[in-house]
Structure 1
C-alpha cells in the first residue's frame, strides 16, 4: 500500500514532505519560517522586500535567466510573504522537476541582491503600498491588527511603510537572510507524480548543501490589549466596519471550534448566517464576512462589512445579534451537523487543488513536524460538540469582548 505522503530530513536539517499523485502538473514550495513578525526594529518590510529581490540575480543567473528558466517550458515561479513565513513556489510538468528544484535552491541560497535591482524594486514596493492605501477595505485590516497587537511585531504590516521601505538596503537584507534563511527552519513540500526515489535524489542533489547560517528565530506571544472602539471620519463612499479580538493560535485545541464558528457565521458559502440574515434578508451589505486567522501562538477572529451610512447602525446591531445567539444558546443538532459537513466538504474540495494540497502539507509540517491524514482531521471536526461551540463563543467572540475599528464616510 502506497504511503499517503513521504517525509525525510536532509543532512543540513531541512525537512521535506512529498505526496505522490498521478497528475501531469507538479507543485513545490520552499517555506522559510520567517516573516514580518521576525523583523527587528528598523527593519519593517524587509521580509517582503527580500521576497521581491530574490528574483533579481544569483551567483550564476541574472534576472532574465531566473524568470525565463521555468516560464520558457510553461511553468510558473512565484513567491509571497506572510507575517510568519516566506514562500517560494513553482508549478510545472513532471518532466521539469529537476529544473524547478534547482532553480528554487539557487534563488533561496545564492541570491546576490544587486544594488541597482534593490533601487528598482524599492520603487515597485512603494507603488504596491500606495495601491493598498487606495483601498480602505484592505487598510482597515492592517490598522486593526496594528491596534490589536499593540507594540508586538505581529501588528506590523507585511509591506512595511513608505518610510521604512525607503530606509532598507542591502545590509538589512543580508542581515535578515543570515539570521533566518537557515535549512533547519525550512520545509520543502511537493505534490506531484515524481516517484519518491527520484524526488529524494533531486532534493539531496540541490537542497542538501551545507550552510554556516545559524537560526536566530526567537518569538514571544503577544499580550492582549484593552478593548477599543475607534470610529474615524474618512473620505470613503461607504462605511467600513471591522470588529474582532485576539484568540488562540495554531497550537491550541480551540483552533478547530473557532474555525467552524467563523465559517458558520461568515465563510465563503452564500448560506452562511451573516450573508443570509443581513445581505439576503435586508440587502444592507454587499460584502460581509467572518474570519479566523491563526498564527503560531495567537490568532485573530474578525468580522468585516461594508455598508451605506444609513444602514450602518442596523447592520452593526444584526451582527451583534448573531454573535449573542452563539453565546446564549447552543446550536441545534442539525445546525451543527450541517456546519460540520459544510466545512469538511469545503476542505475536501480545496484539497483537489494541487497548490492548495501542497500548501497544507507544508504549513502542517512546518508547525507540527507532522501531517494528519485528512480522515483523521475530518474526525476531529466531527467530534466538535454543541458545548464546545457555546464555550468557545463565550470565551472569544462575545460582543463585549471584541474591539472595533470603523471608517465612517464623511457626510
Structure 2
C-alpha cells in the first residue's frame, strides 16, 4: 500500500491510500485550525462550527444530510482538537461520490440558520455542563490550563457558557472563511478508493474553497509550558489526580523517546506504574502515564484515580517510580514498547479509519506521510541511556503541573510535591 498525493490549484491537498481488499472507504477533511486558533471572544467557536456544519446547507436540511448518508449505510462524524478540526464519512466504495459531495456541501455551503444555531448552542451548553459534572473531564481540562497558563492551547475546547451563548451566525461564517482555506485543508481517503477518480471528485466539489492563504490569519503565539496547580474539593468516592511535566513537540528529537518512556512507565498492564502501584500495592484502581505532542510543545503526565484513604501513600510511590525510571531502564522494556508500537502500526493498516487519520496527522505535522519502516528506525535508535537521560530532564528539571479533583485533603501541595520529588532524584540525574 502506498500513499498518493495531489495538490490542487487552490492549494488544497488530496491524499489517498488504496486498500483494494476492502469494500468501504473512509474519507475526511482535516483543517489546520482548532481551539488554539481562537481569539478570546471566539473561545469555543471551532467546536460550535463543527456542530453547525451538519445543521443545513443551501441544498440540504439537517435531516436530509443525516438521511442521505444513512440511506446508503454510511455515517458522518467530526472532531475538534487544539490544533485541528476534522469532518469524515465512511461509506461503501460505490458511494464515494455521495460521501465527498456531502462533506463539501457542509463545509462550503452551510447556511448557519439562526434557529438551528440556538438549538445547537443549547446542546453544547448541556455538553459543557456534563463535562463539569464529570471529575475525570474536569481534571484533564484544568491540567492543561495549569500547564499552559493564560494561553489558548490550554483552554477547554468546548468554550464557556458565556462565550457559546454569545455567538452569532455571522461570527461562525467569518471564522470559517478566515481559517478554512486551501492551504490549511487536507482531504484524505483510505480503503477501496481510486486516487485519480477521487481527485476529480474533490476538484469538482471543493472548487469554492479559497485558493490562497488568508493574510488575516495571524500565527498563533508559541506555546510556553509554565506548570501550575489546580485543586478542587468535591464530595466524591474517589480522587482524580494528575501530575505533569514539560514534554516534547512532534518534531522535537525526543518526541518518540518520550512516547516510549510514557509506555514503559505507565502504558499498559506490564508497565511499571501499573505493576507497582495497582497490582503490588493496590493503591488505586487506575494509573497510567501519557505524552501529548503539539506542533511546538508537549506535555508528559501521570493520571491516577484512588480513594482518599490511599492518596497520602500514592504520590510518594509514583515519585519513586519516576526516580527509578530515570536511574535504570532495561533493554527488554524498550523491546516491549517497540513491539507494541509495531503491532499498533500494522493493526492500523487493517483499518481505513485509522489509516486516514494517521495519514492526515502526518501530512499536517510533517508535510508528508511517514512510512512505518521510518518510524521503526527511529524507535530502534532509542537506547536505555537516552531514555534515562530524558527522564532525568523531564521529571527533575521542569516545573511541576498538578491537577486534582475530589476528596483531596491528604494530597500534598505542589511545592511540597516538588520537594518530595527532588528528594528521590537519583544521583545520575542530579549529576547531569
Give TM-score scaled by structure 2 length.
0.90
Deviation, 1:208, is 3.7
1:352 aligns with 2:350: yes
* Secondary structure at 1:290 match in 2: strand
Specify whether residues 400 and 210 from structure 1 end up closer, same or farther in structure 2 by C-alpha distance, changes over 3 A only.
closer
Contact 1:149–1:223 (CA<8 Å) still a contact in 2? yes
Question: Counterparts of 1:6-405 in structure 2 under 5 Å?
Answer: 6-22=4-20, 23-211=22-210, 214-215=213-214, 216-225=217-226, 227-267=227-267, 269-329=268-328, 331-398=329-396, 401-405=399-403
Deviation, 1:229, is 4.3
Specify whether residues 214 and 376 from structure 1 end up closer, same or farther in structure 2 by C-alpha distance, changes over 3 A only.
closer
Q: How big is each residue's C-alpha offset from its partner over 1:87-107, in whole Å with a ceiling of 9 and x where there is no partner?
A: 000001000000001110111
List gaps (5 residues or longer) in structure 2.
410-432
Specify whether residues 298 and 258 from structure 1 end up closer, same or farther in structure 2 by C-alpha distance, changes over 3 A only.
same
Partner residue, 2:418: none
1: CA distance, partners of 2:136 / 2:102: 36
Q: Greater shift after overlay, 384-393 or 20-29?
A: 384-393
1: CA distance, partners of 2:95 / 2:355: 20
Contact 1:10–1:208 (CA<8 Å) still a contact in 2? no
* Secondary structure at 1:6 match in 2: strand
Partner residue, 2:430: none
Deviation, 1:402, is 2.5
Please report the RMSD computed on the Cα atoms of aligned residues, expressed in angstroms: 1.7
2: CA distance, partners of 1:133 / 1:318: 29
* Secondary structure at 1:78 match in 2: strand
2: CA distance, partners of 1:335 / 1:94: 42
1: CA distance, partners of 2:294 / 2:408: 35
Deviation, 1:324, is 0.7
1: CA distance, partners of 2:269 / 2:346: 18
Deviation, 1:210, is 4.8
Q: How big is each residue's C-alpha offset from its partner over 1:290-313, in whole Å with a ceiling of 9 and x where there is no partner?
A: 111111111111111110111112
Contact 2:24–2:93 (CA<8 Å) still a contact in 1? yes
* Secondary structure at 1:372 match in 2: coil
Contact 2:291–2:301 (CA<8 Å) still a contact in 1? yes
Specify whether residues 366 and 208 from structure 1 end up closer, same or farther in structure 2 by C-alpha distance, changes over 3 A only.
farther
Contact 1:323–1:399 (CA<8 Å) still a contact in 2? no
List gaps (5 residues or longer) in structure 1.
none
Contact 2:246–2:399 (CA<8 Å) still a contact in 1? no
Contact 1:16–1:188 (CA<8 Å) still a contact in 2? yes
2: CA distance, partners of 1:210 / 1:123: 30
Contact 2:183–2:212 (CA<8 Å) still a contact in 1? no
Specify whether residues 213 and 337 from structure 1 end up closer, same or farther in structure 2 by C-alpha distance, changes over 3 A only.
closer
Deviation, 1:171, is 2.5
Give TM-score scaled by structure 1 length.
0.95
Partner residue, 2:413: none
Q: How big is each residue's C-alpha offset from its partner over 1:132-177, in whole Å with a ceiling of 9 and x where there is no partner?
A: 1111111111011111111111011000011111111112212211
Q: How big is each residue's C-alpha offset from its partner over 1:375-405, in whole Å with a ceiling of 9 and x where there is no partner?
A: 1111211111112211211221338742212
Deviation, 1:11, is 0.9
1: CA distance, partners of 2:300 / 2:388: 16
Specify whether residues 265 and 350 from structure 1 end up closer, same or farther in structure 2 by C-alpha distance, changes over 3 A only.
farther
Q: How big is each residue's C-alpha offset from its partner over 1:98-138, in whole Å with a ceiling of 9 and x where there is no partner?
A: 00011101111111100000000000000111111111111
Deviation, 1:195, is 2.0
* Secondary structure at 1:357 match in 2: helix
